[in-house]
């Protein structure tokens, strides 16, 4: 790990990443891609040491309340967070200043901050996003080795349901010839239905592999799935988008099952929902674009 002082913490869309890099070890991670111009080893976590101060300054100066997003590029609950507590300190500020939160993670460390999530959701809106890719627990430990498994993440969704906190499942990526099966999809959907998630994001069925990401992924395929790297190369070459051969059928399956359960699966609708600030105390709703 290493520290770095940065000039700003919130993007133009009110998103933030407190850390840069990751220690979860997911074999397909797009954040490894060279296009993001990371100047350090991916597992050498960059800690934005002045993130809390910058966030307070930004929240204090905002003309109107909005949703604050985190987790898009780096999980806010990396292993280092258990000691550093920077995410928690940022959530305390979001709660104190009355902003909303859209937070994405694969880690059960989020439960440590349930008190803050509950408080934020009581005042405005807190949307917890959990990634579920692999129903089979043993396969999950191969694909996402250093973070809690799908079963535990489903328990997080159930806890949020019981707390009245809305949730969204990121059912992505689906890796061709690995977890792109109907059995896997139905297993994940069953977790989502029991947890009464608000929505499911799946971007069709497949994975994206850029330079940097692709090499690491292929290295892990050779390690865990002998011969599969060559099948990928024969089938896809160096393509960025790697759709499942079952894409059309599985996408239709997800959409039909979501429709039956009243679960939102329209991508634009879900992102609009995560950007829609609600002031429950004033009975007011504000779009990101009203700010």
Residue 178 and residue 225 in contact, taking contact as beta carbons nearer than 8 Å:
yes
pLDDT of 127 above 60: yes
The token pair at 26 is 């997911």
Task: Provide the domain count of the chain.
Answer: 1
pLDDT at 51 over 50: yes
Q: What is the model's pLDDT at position 38?
A: 87
- Each residue of 224-274: pLDDT tens digit? 999 999 999 999 998 999 999 999 999 999 999 999 999 999 999 999 999
Q: Residues 97-119: what's their mean pLDDT?
A: 98
pLDDT for residue 124: 95
Whole-number pLDDT of residue 232 = 97
CATH code: domain of residue 72: 3.20.20.70
The bridge status of strand 241-243 relative to strand 206-208 is: antiparallel
Burial of 36 (0-12, 13-18, 19+ CB in 10 A): middle
Whole-number pLDDT of residue 291: 47
Q: Is the dihedral of CA 145, 150, 155, 156 positive or negative?
A: positive
pTM of the model: 0.94
Q: Provide the pLDDT confidence category of residue 289 given band limits of 50, 70 and 90.
A: very low
> What's the Rg (C-alpha) of the chain?
19
pLDDT tens by residue, 129-148 = 999 999 999 999 999 999 99
Q: What is the domain range of residue 75?
A: 2-290
Q: In what order do the strands lie in the sheet with 167-170?
A: 15-16, 67-70, 100-105, 126-131, 167-170, 199-201
What's residue 39's pLDDT?
87
Task: Check: CB of residue 110 under 8 Å from CB of residue 77.
Answer: yes
């Amino acid at each position: 790990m290493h520290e770095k002082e940065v000039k700003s913490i919130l993007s133009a869309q009110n998103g933030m990443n407190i850390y840069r890099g990751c220690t979860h070890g997911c074999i397909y991670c797009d954040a490894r891609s060279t296009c993001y111009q990371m100047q350090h080893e991916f597992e050498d976590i960059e800690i934005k040491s002045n993130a809390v101060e910058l966030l307070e300054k930004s929240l204090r100066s905002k003309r109107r309340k909005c949703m604050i997003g985190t987790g898009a590029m780096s999980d806010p609950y990396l292993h280092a967070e258990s000691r550093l507590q920077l995410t928690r300190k940022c959530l305390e500020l979001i709660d104190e200043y009355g902003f909303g939160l859209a937070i994405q993670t694969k880690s059960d460390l989020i439960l440590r901050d349930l008190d803050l999530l509950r408080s934020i959701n009581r005042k405005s809106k807190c949307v917890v996003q959990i990634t579920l890719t692999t129903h089979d627990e043993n396969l999950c430990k191969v694909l996402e080795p250093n973070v809690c498994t799908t079963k535990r993440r489903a328990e997080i969704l159930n806890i949020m349901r019981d707390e009245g906190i809305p949730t969204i499942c990121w059912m992505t990526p689906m890796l061709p010839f690995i977890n792109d099966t109907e059995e896997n999809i139905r297993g994940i959907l069953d977790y989502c239905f029991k947890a009464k998630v608000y929505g499911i994001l799946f971007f069709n069925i497949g994975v994206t592999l850029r330079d940097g990401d692709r090499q690491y992924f292929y290295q892990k395929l050779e390690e865990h799935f002998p011969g599969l790297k060559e099948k990928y190369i024969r089938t896809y070459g160096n393509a960025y988008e790697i759709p499942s051969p079952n894409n059309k059928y599985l996408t239709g399956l997800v959409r039909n099952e979501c429709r039956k359960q009243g679960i939102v699966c329209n991508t634009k609708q879900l992102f609009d929902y995560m950007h829609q600030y609600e002031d429950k105390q004033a009975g007011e709703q504000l779009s990101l674009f009203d700010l």
